[in-house]
Amino acid sequence: MMMTPRAVERVAELSFETFQERLRGKPLAIIYPRHRARSALVAMFLRHYGPNMIYYSLGEDETTLEAWLAHMVDDPAFPEGFGAQTRAALKTRATPADLAAALGADLGAVRGKPYMLLLDAFDHLHPSKSVDRFFRDLPAALPDNVQIVINARLLRLQPWNDLVLAGQAVVVGTDEALGGGIYGDEQKRGQLEVFALSGGHVYIDGRPVTSWDGSLPRHLFYYFVDHPMVTRDEIFEVFWPKMSVKEATNVFHVTKRKISECLGYELTHYASGFYVPSPKLQIHYDARVFEEAVHEAIEVEENAPANWYLAVQLYRSDFLPYIHTPWVQARRDELQNKYAQALIGLGRYHRGLGELDLALGYLLRALREKPDWEDVHRDVMMIYYQQGRRDEAIGQYHQLERTLDRLFGIQPSRETRNLYEVIAAV
């Protein structure tokens, strides 16, 4: 079934009006690489611009600037005769700046009315000095009626950050990005993204970090990110409790150096007896944003639903699911509790609105995380009862009964037993 325009906007998490306003006057537009619904944003482009858009998807062999341009000018998506100046520039092995000028001229000759060129699968084009130079020169070479939109799973920080700061490019799909995303930082710091609640993925300046030179640098990296102010003694107690201070110090400095080599930046700065985040890095950390949302939901009631929603969206998986060390397990349990809190908050919010099916969905998800939370079982029993689903309400009570007996050897509280008796007597 084809989605309606409004359905596409809901999935894309961006209204077309907002989307259109952001693009106005920008030669280049970038779909944020970590946006969860990049495909929906592409669909929005195609749906709303239709005949005023040319779509081109890069192939696996279009890894260089010259290969990409040579393939694109021959693509049937463009009108016959397109690309004469670009072909000529390629034949003379022109500079990236001259190639940008040639492509701009060719795109301007396609039509007089405004249109967009959507470059999909842009990951295939490998970063290089030539590509960097080409795109720094391209905005000035584009005629006013042409905009280029770039969609990629991975995109480096540069040259895009400088283009955003210069007003020549805009990034869409950053509304839910951690810390607003990696582009547009006027301090031009390194951009570190850490997704501990989404499989443990790490990106530095848009590049995925996949090699850590062993598990220890990776584990210490996550510890530093999760503990933004920590002493050396605390680190040693977690990682090398049985080593002498001298041995632990040697291992620590070697491991810390390996982290810096993997990132290309110093992760920490030592000040007043504490290791704190380096001022040369902007750290986007999902677990921190998640905890801030939960805290804000508890502290500010009028903003609670929006913050509960944000927390639930951020929690894509358990904290660092593939690491099994005591400190990680303790944090995993702590964050899992907060996730259950967020689900319960949303469940009770929707129940208060009379949206019982939505409420039930969130509360049952909370029980999958924390099956022994008795008050949530009572909420579920009451919703089933309100919906006329008496047998399911009774079944929920017996599920709680078995869970409490298995985990703690106890029976449900008097309050829960009274509720069960009322439902069972109907």
Query: Hey, what long-range contacts does 213-220 have (CB within 8 A, 24 or more apart)?
Result: 213/258, 213/261, 213/262, 214/258, 216/251, 216/255, 217/255, 217/258, 217/259, 217/262, 219/323, 219/325, 219/328, 220/255, 220/256, 220/259
| Cα–Cα distance measured from residue 235 to residue 219, given in angstroms and rounded to the nearest whole number | 11
d(CA 150, CA 143): 17
The gap from C-alpha 251 to its chain's centroid, in whole angstroms, comes to 33
d(C-alpha 47, C-alpha 24), whole Å: 18
Nearest 5°: CA angle at 297, between 296 and 300? 70
In Å, the largest CA–CA distance within the chain is 89
Token readout for 342 is: 């967020």
DSSP three-state, residue 165: helix
What pLDDT is recorded for position 16? 62
Q: Please report the pLDDT score of residue 35 as a whole number.
A: 83
Q: For the chain, list the domains and their CATH numbers.
A: 5-180 (3.40.50), 321-425 (1.25.40.10)
Cα–Cα distance for residue pair 165/321, rounded to 1 Å: 37
pLDDT at 5: 46
pLDDT at 15: 63
Q: Edge-to-edge strand order for the sheet containing 201-204? A: 207-208, 201-204, 190-195, 281-285
Q: For 58, list phi and psi in degrees, rounded to 5.
A: -70, 145
For residue range 42-60, list pLDDT tens digits in order.
Answer: 887 787 777 888 999 999 9
What is residue 41's predicted lDDT score, i.e. its pLDDT?
79
Check: CB of residue 57 under 8 Å from CB of residue 120: yes
Length of the chain in terms of residues written: 426
- Contact between 217 and 262 under an 8 Å Cβ cutoff? The reply is yes
Q: What are phi and psi of 274, to 5 degrees?
A: -125, 145
Residues of the chain short of pLDDT 50, as ranges, are: 1-12
Give CA–CA dist 398/410, Å, rounded: 13
Spatial distance between the Cα atoms of 351 and 348, rounded to a whole number of angstroms = 5
Angle between helices 356-369 and 374-386 (to 10 degrees): 150
